Amino acid sequence: MTRHPTDHPQFYLTAPAPCPYLDGKQERKVFTHLIGQHAPSLNDVLTHGGFRRSQNIAYRPACEDCRACISVRVRVDDFEWTKSLKRQWKLGKDVVGARLPPAPSAEQYDLFRSYLTERHEDGGMTEMSVLDYAMMVEDTHVETMVLEYRKSGPDSFITGVGEGPLLGVALTDQLADGLSMVYSFYDPEVTGVGLGTYMILDHIQRARRMGLPYVYLGYWVEGSPKMAYKARFQPQEHLGPDGWTLSPGQ
């Protein structure tokens, strides 16, 4: 059985592959394993350094001629509620997010497949089987949660759990200084509520209640339509050569 050191992680470099965000570009990633008792603290350190988690792997771009992928995090205490975001939050007033352990379900997978088919049919995750999805959720050595979003019921204000069909799911890591949204998806046929926006706003509110200063949104790529939505959540910090600094214009 292969064993990986946990006190002194080893880093590896992937071979070049087509970039999923910018046409004509090649991407490479540096990665390491997140396993064992030190995985939570290592995940904290690496997230601060611009890494993202996927199952028990932490990775970040290591492209030779491109630095377009920028790690972003929202400053919770200073978050600016624009008129548009206030409207989105109000539209979701009947949606409840329940915090659950990182365990997959058939209902989650069905929603995951519907989301990919409608929004990312040409993406790299479209071939994921139910077993692949289960591994994405439960193969973790860090503090991870699943947030399931449903319509509120008569007892939701007591139980914190909604009722009815599953509307959205967020796989989220809890760090020492924030919440890191690993992956989220939602019912593409639901109208009247911007579920993707609502789930980010819900994470910002949760982080505030938990006394956590940041919500990590992963990478923002200027010029990529897939990433444009992240710029709505201000103020945010970008990770650059001088560390985390306020994004331009703030």
Confidence band (pLDDT; 50, 70, 90) for 14? very high
- Supply the pLDDT for residue 3: 46
* DSSP three-state, residue 182: strand
- At 122, the pLDDT band (50, 70, 90 cuts) reads low
pLDDT at 65: 85
Long-range contacts (CB closer than 8 Å, 24 or more residues apart) made by 77-85: 77/208, 77/213, 78/235, 79/204, 79/208, 79/233, 79/234, 79/235, 80/234, 80/235, 82/232, 84/232, 85/197, 85/201, 85/232, 85/233
pLDDT at residue 4 tops 60: no
Segment 37-64 shows an average pLDDT of 95
Which residue, 5, 15, 17, 10, is CA-closest to 31?
Answer: 10
CA distance 114 to 167: 11
Domain ranges of the chain: 12-67, 73-246
Q: Give the single-character DSSP code of 165.
A: E
CA distance 226 to 220: 9
Confidence (pLDDT) at 19: 87
Strand partners, 162: none
Q: Which is higher by pLDDT, 152 or 147?
A: 147
pLDDT band at residue 153 under the 50/70/90 scheme: confident
Q: Are 219 and 62 in contact (CB under 8 A)?
A: no
| Encoded tokens for 20 | 């999923």
pLDDT at 1 over 70: no
| Tens of pLDDT, residues 48-61 | 999 999 999 999 99
Residue of 17, 10, 5, 162 whose CA lies nearest to 92 = 162
How confident is the model at residue 124, as a pLDDT? 64
Distance CA 100, CA 232 (A): 28
pLDDT given for residue 2 in this prediction: 44
* % of the chain at pLDDT higher than 90: 74
Q: 208-248: per-residue pLDDT in tens? A: 999 999 999 999 998 888 888 999 999 999 999 999 999 87
Average pLDDT, the chain: 91
Which pLDDT tens digit goes with each residue over 171-213?
A: 999 999 999 999 999 998 998 889 999 999 999 999 999 999 9
CA 70 to chain centroid, in Å, comes to 14
How far apart, in Å, do the first and last CA atoms of the chain sit?
50
- Rounded to 5 degrees, φ, ψ at 53 are -105, 140
Tell me, which fold does domain 73-246 have in CATH?
Aminopeptidase (3.40.630)
Give the confidence band of 112 by pLDDT, cuts at 50, 70, 90: very high
